[in-house]
Amino acid sequence: MKKFLLYFAILLIAQVVFSQTPSGFSYQAVLRDAEGKVLINQTLSLRVSLTNSDGSTSYYSEVHSASSNDFGIIN
C-alpha cells in the first residue's frame, strides 16, 4: 500500500510540473479592404486589443507588423 501511495504521489507531482501555460496564441486571417477586396502581398500594422464588452475600456493592446501572402493570408 505504501508503494502505491508513493507512485500515486509521484504521478500527481509530475502532472503539476508539466502543467504550464502557453506563451501565446496563434492566429490566421485574410486581409481585406473596406470594399471586401483581398489585400495581396502587402505589409501593414495590426493592433490586437483586449477590451470590455462595449469596447470603452482597453485592458491590453499591442501592435504587430504583418505581411500578407499571395492569397491575402497573414499568420
Over residues 6-18, the pLDDT tens digits come to 888 887 777 665 6
Residues 25, 48 contacting (CB under 8 angstroms):
no
Would you state the pLDDT for residue 72? 93
Among 1-15, 24-38, 51-65, the least confident range = 1-15
Would you state the pLDDT for residue 43? 95
CA distance 38 to 74: 11
Residue 73: count of CB within 10 angstroms of its CB: 14
C-alpha distance across the termini of the chain, in Å: 52
CA distance 58 to 55: 7
C-alpha cell at 73: 493570408
